Amino acid sequence: MSHQELEVLGRAQECCPGLLTAPLDEDQAAELAKVFKALGDPVRLRLLSMIASRAGGEVCVCDLTPAFDVSQPTISHHLKLLKQAGLIDSERRGTWVYYRLLPQMTDRLAGILARPAGQPLPQIGQESAGAPS
């Protein structure tokens, strides 16, 4: 794992106990927004899914590009953004680049979004009960 990826992961692990347990401060929100922005594009979300679900844990860019109706440079740009967000890592082998998921970040996101065990979900409409319609 590169220094940059370790730094991103470290900041994410320090930052966020969970959205439902404590309000995020400005820095936490800014850091998380970068990761969610990377996930906010359908092509990037599909790329991440293809990488994460690949048997053997990694996939060659040569196997990713044909699945999309966009150019190879566009795919490379999307992969770069996923890598900068700390979601994937890559390794060059000869001509090709192989990508793999960084489960630490996806596990962290899952922890941030999870509600504390044993707490019921609010009922729809409860928050606005008594509010004028």
Q: How does pLDDT run across 21-64, given as a tens digit for each residue?
A: 678 889 888 888 999 999 999 999 999 999 999 988 899 999 99
User: Quick one: tokens of 69?
Assistant: 């109706």
CB 125, CB 30: distance < 8 Å: no
Residue 74 CA to residue 9 CA, distance in Å, equals: 25
Q: How does pLDDT run across 57-104, given as a tens digit for each residue?
A: 899 999 999 999 999 999 999 999 999 999 999 999 999 999 999 999
Residue 78 CA to residue 80 CA, distance in Å, equals: 5
Task: Please tell me the predicted confidence (pLDDT) of residue 128.
Answer: 45
Q: How does pLDDT run across 101-128, given as a tens digit for each residue?
A: 999 988 888 888 887 666 666 666 654 4
Task: Please tell me the predicted confidence (pLDDT) of residue 79.
Answer: 97
Which residues partner with 59 through β-bridges? 99
* Whole-prediction pTM: 0.71
Using the predicted structure, report yes or no on whether residue 130 has a pLDDT greater than 90: no
